[in-house]
A = this chain, B = another copy of it.
Amino acid sequence: MLISALPVIDQPARRVGALLEHVNRQLRQHSVPALETLGVRPRHVLALTVLRDTGGSSQADLAGLLQMDRTNLVGLLNELETEGWVERRRSPEDRRRHLVELTAAGGELLSRIDFALAAIEDHVLSALDAAQREQLYELLRQAANLEAACTESPDC
């Protein structure tokens, strides 16, 4: 009787994951047709974006950043290099490593992608005003930046 009268902690979880996935899906569904006209796939955009934001990366690091198997990354980079969007060069410090960088063509492509995707984001995220959009961007950027450190830790 007394035990059953105890207050029950029944807080709804403020779990971000499903919401992230949900919004991500919306964006992806709308983005794919636009990307197709540019001859690009979502996973291309992701790699190109990371390469731009990091200024270039070794393949091992890139695989970690993208949370992607290194074998599959080779395939992805083969596609990007074939299209002339990225360039692989041997690192002078360790010739086992490639330094992967955007080419000028890759940078231009990314600008076109940005333009197309900005319109889509305007639409999909129209429930948020400009300040909120900015806020969301900064929060995600901050969250993503720590993830970059996860390539250094086997526990990540």
Contact = CB atoms under 8 A, between A and B. Distances in A.
Chain A interface main SS type: helix
B26 A24 contact: no
Contact of A142 (B17, B26, B128): B128
The size bracket of the interface on A is 35 or more
- Stoichiometry (number of copies): 2
B143 A136 contact: yes
Contacts of A42: 21
Nearest to A125: B143
A14 B146 contact: no
A96 to B, nearest CB: 26
A85 to B, nearest CB: 15
Given A15-B114, A126-B146, A46 B21 contact: yes
